[in-house]
Each structure stands twice: as C-alpha cells, then as structure tokens.
Amino acid sequence: MSTPETPWPEYARALTDPARAPEKPEALGDLRVLDCSQGNFAALFCSSILAEFGGEVIRMEPPGGDVARLFSPRGFLHRGTGLAYLVEARNKRHITLNLDTERGRDLFARLARHMDVIIESARPGQMDARGIGYRQLSEALPRLIYAAFSARGQFGPRASTPIPDYDVTAQALSGVPYTTGEPADEGLPGSSVPTKQGNWVAWYVGGGWGAFAVMAAVVWRWASGRGQFIDCAPAEGEMRFTDCDIPWYHASRRVRERVGALNICVFPYTLIRSKDSYSFIAGFSDINWAGLTNIVGRRDLAERFPTTKHRIQHAKALHAELEAWAAEFTSQDILDKVQDYLVNKRGPGTVATARLNRPAETLAESHWWERGVFQKVEDPDYGELLLQGPPWKMSHTPPRIKWACRPVGADNEDIYLKYLGLGREDLRALAAEEVV
C-alpha cells in the first residue's frame, strides 16, 4: 500500500477500455444460439446481448427475410434493410429456413441439436403444434435452453390469446404510460394523456430480461447439466420496473397517477426550464435540499420547507421558484455551479443536474465516444454505420461489435455445412423446394 497508486480513472480505464477488447477473450465464445424470432425486437435485443458477449448467434429468417427488416422510420431502408434491424443484427450469422415446410421443420430440429439456446417469438403453442417446441426438442436435448417471447406469456388464463407482442401494447400492459405524461387537468387536451416512451422501451426491457434469464439458465446448467424453458413477456419485464405502484396500492388502495415532470415521493427530482434548454435537477433528501438551496442562494427555502413532506406538498410552487432562478442561467451554467459546489466542497449535500439533450447533443459529447458508447462500425456488407455499443465495460471479457449485419441468407452455405454437412448442391435442392 506504500507505492503511489495510479489515480482511479486512469486505473479503471486501463482495466476496461473497450478499445482493447480485441486483445481479450469473449465470455460466451462457447455458446451457440439460434434466434428464429420474427418481427420482435425483444427477441432481437436478447440475442444481440448474447452476441455482444461472444455467443455464436444464428439468426434464422424465413426465405423472404424477417419482417423486422422493414420496421424503419419513414420506411427508410439502407441497402435493403431497415434501420432498427441494422442495430440489432450485430455479430449474428444469417440463414434462412421455411418452417412452414416439413423439410424445414426437420432441418430445424437437426440444427437444434447443436445449439445451447433457442430463441423464438411465435404465438404460444405454435412451435409446439409444429412439433419443434420445447416439449418435443427437450426430450432428446435435456441441456437445451429455450426462450420464448410473447405478449401474455406461455401459461395463465390469457396465455392462449392470438394477440401478437408489440412494443406499444407491451408498454400499455406494463402500466408505465399510465404514470407518464402531463396530468389531465394541466397542459392541452391532446397531449395531457398517458404517454409512451419514444423508444421501444418495453421491447428493450423484455429482451434484457430474456438475456438475463438465458444467462441464469446457463449458470444453472453448469451445476445440473439441464436446460429449461424460459417464458418471457416484455410487458411483464417492464411491469417489474414500476417502482412502488403495487406495494402502494396494496398498502393504501391508492393508484399512482401522472405528475408530468414531478415525482410523487420526493422534491426536487424534476425538470426545470433554463435560459437555453431544460435541466434535470435533484436534491431531495434534507441535506441535499440544503445543498441545492445554497447553490440557488435561497436558504430561506430550506428553512421554510425542511422536510420531504413539506416539499412535495408545495412542489408546484417550489418548482416555480427553481425555474425563476434558472431562467437567468444556461443549463451549462447550472451544471458548472453545481460542480463547483460539489468538487470544491462548498457546503453540505449532493446535487445532481444535467442538461436536457437532444440526441444530436448527446452525439456531440466526447465522453460517450471515448467510452465506446458510440462507434463507427465498418461493416463489409453495409458500409460505415454509427451504432450504439454494448453498455458494459469489463476487465476480462469485454463485449464488442464485430460486424453490424448480414444480408438475408448470407451465411446459409457456412452454417448448413458446418452443422448439418449440407453442401451447395443440397442447398440448391432445398432452395428449389422453397425450404431455404
């Protein structure tokens, strides 16, 4: 302990800099994944995570390509593929197979023998009815991990619904839009409504849960030698995140309603208008509120509203006070003031603030580029693409992007030869029968 140590940020960077990822091993290099989902970005994000960590992920599309390749804003296609798909095809091999044919189902079952994980998003019971669901495959493959995505799950009174899984319906079912947005009695009628997140948040949450569950099953397989069936409904994934909605209803039969940019538990934890934009600002515990009122130069507010209860009761008035102060400063000024207070330890309490970013403003910040959060990936098939990188920095087995996407069926020859010993002639015959 006597030697002078490298400062923490330098040490941490040397440990985890994603620029050095290619020198390091991949955690899931031994995991083979077959993702035959269709039109479902929860499933696609699930297999993306496994692919980022090094799993050999094979995307199986119907011969015309997955409809997910068409889910793109304004129908924008880049070299024939939609933008959302180009984000979630990373590190995946791409093959085609027609599961509507008997030959296709037979090939699927044979491929499954070589897989550790299968991911699908068919209507519950559909794969089973085709004879290639978990029930049938697991008989010969007890180590198989099989993850199925659906709107309402694989069991329970509503499981047999034919309704497919989409992000917006999953968001609706999660309960999150109910508590998001401007209150009905404020703002304008058209926009003071339950509001969805702009991104496909339920799909991303659902896919995250899928990858988590697959990894839990992989860990358990070390101990047991056995695989299992994973039932993942993205709506339930996001539901798990609904803070204290259910405990509060249980305790007091109260339903949480929309509060716009406020929070029902604490104040301030809110967005305020600044001279040039908006800023998020938080300092809600008593000591942090003291810190914030020091920064604002309004110690009287700390004295008049000393407890959380006082502050949330007068949240709207206090919000107006903070906005009156912020009107004279840019969001950067506010951040500078807060950092000056924190870094120079000018008083008690911790205050957090941030400028509300448009996406282009986030893209302009060097922090994310240094950390590999944004990357320009040179893809052999699709050219240079700006992609968001994996969110983790890891010392020993860092995740990485190796390529962005492959055209429909581009890996048919490689994969069918590698796993099933099928040569070009076999594939030609299968193509003639519309199997691949």
Partner 1 sequence: MTESYFDWTSKLFDRSRVFDKPEALRGIRVLELTTLVLGPTTADFLGEFGAEVIKVELPPGGDTMRYVTPEATFWKNASLGFMPENHSKYHIGIDLHTEAGKDLFRQLTARSDVLVENFRAGTLDRWGIGYRRLSHINPRLIYVADSGFGQWGPFSLGRASYDAVAQTVSGMIGITGFPGRPPILCGIFIGDWFGGLMAATAALVALHHRAKTGEGQFIDLAQSEGLIRSLDWTWIRHGLTGQEREPVGNQDEALVPAGLFACRDGFAGIAAPRDNEFQGLCAAMGEPDLAADPRFATLPARQQPANAQTLYERIGNWAASKTRAEIEALAEEHGFAAAPVVNAADRYNDAHLRTRGTVWEYEDPLYGPMVEHGPAPKLSATPGRIRWSAKPVGWHNMEIMVRLLGLSPARIRDLEAQKVIGRWAARPGPCPPEGWSPG
Footprint (CB under 8 A) of partner 1, residues 232-251: 232, 235-237, 239-251
Nearer to partner 1 among residue 171 and residue 412 (C-beta): 171
41 binding partner 1? (CB under 8 A): yes
Nearer to partner 1 among residue 365 and residue 434 (C-beta): 365
Chain residues 248-277 in contact with partner 1, contact rule CB under 8 A: 248-256, 258, 260-266, 269-271, 273
Which member of 32, 103, 172, 426 binds partner 1 (CB under 8 A)?
172
Chain residues 102-121 in contact with partner 1, contact rule CB under 8 A: none
- CB 368, min distance to partner 1, A: 7
For 201-239, b where at least 16 C-beta lie within 10 A, e where not — what string? bbbbbbbbbbbebbbebbeebeeeeebbbbbbbbbbbbb
Nearer to partner 1 among residue 387 and residue 410 (C-beta): 387
CA dihedral 46, 206, 111, 97 (to 10 degrees): -100
Nearer to partner 1 among residue 120 and residue 236 (C-beta): 236
Binding flags for partner 1, 282-301, as an x/- string (CB under 8 A): x-xx----------------
Nearer to partner 1 among residue 170 and residue 422 (C-beta): 170
61: which strand partners? 96
State the pairing for strand pair 92-96/56-61.
Answer: parallel
Which member of 162, 225, 380, 421 binds partner 1 (CB under 8 A)?
162
| Dist. CA 8–CA 19, nearest whole Å | 18
Chain residues 336-395 in contact with partner 1, contact rule CB under 8 A: 339, 342-343, 350-363, 365-368, 370-371, 373-374, 376, 384-395
| Dist. CA 85–CA 436, nearest whole Å | 21
Which member of 35, 56, 278, 296 binds partner 1 (CB under 8 A)?
278
330 binding partner 1? (CB under 8 A): no
Closest to 407 in 3D by CA, of 176, 3, 51, 63: 63
Nearer to partner 1 among residue 58 and residue 170 (C-beta): 170
Contact between residue 170 and residue 206 where contact means Cβ atoms under 8 Å apart: yes
Q: Which residues contact 360 (CB under 8 A, 6 or more apart)?
A: none
Q: Peptide bond preceding 359: is omega within 30 degrees of 0, i.e. cis?
A: no
| Dist. CA 300–CA 292, nearest whole Å | 12
Chain residues 68-97 in contact with partner 1, contact rule CB under 8 A: 70-76, 78, 82-84, 86-87
3 binding partner 1? (CB under 8 A): no
- CB 124, min distance to partner 1, A: 7
Nearer to partner 1 among residue 394 and residue 417 (C-beta): 394
- CB 93, min distance to partner 1, A: 20
Which member of 198, 225, 380, 421 binds partner 1 (CB under 8 A)?
198
Q: Which strand (E) or helix (H) includes residue 148?
A: strand 145-149
Which member of 2, 3, 4, 8 binds partner 1 (CB under 8 A)?
8
Distances (CA, A) of 13 to 8, 237, 285, 294: 8, 32, 32, 34
Nearer to partner 1 among residue 278 and residue 416 (C-beta): 278
Six-digit token pair at 168? Answer: 């917006």
Q: How many amino acids of this chain bind partner 1 (CB under 8 A)?
A: 192
- CB 429, min distance to partner 1, A: 30
Helix spans in 165-285 (H): 167-174, 201-224, 234-239, 245-252
SS3 352: strand
Chain residues 122-151 in contact with partner 1, contact rule CB under 8 A: 124-125, 128-129, 133, 135, 151
- CB 122, min distance to partner 1, A: 12
Which member of 122, 137, 290, 312 binds partner 1 (CB under 8 A)?
312
Which member of 66, 167, 321, 379 binds partner 1 (CB under 8 A)?
167
| Dist. CA 9–CA 63, nearest whole Å | 49
Question: Could you give the count of Cα atoms lying within 13 Å of 28 in the half-sphere of its Cβ?
Answer: 25
| Dist. CA 363–CA 86, nearest whole Å | 19
- Among the listed ranges 103-111, 298-306, 307-315, 422-430, the one in contact with partner 1 (CB under 8 A) is 307-315
Which member of 33, 112, 201, 290 binds partner 1 (CB under 8 A)?
201
Q: Which residues contact 172 (CB under 8 A, 6 or more apart)?
A: 196, 235
10 binding partner 1? (CB under 8 A): yes
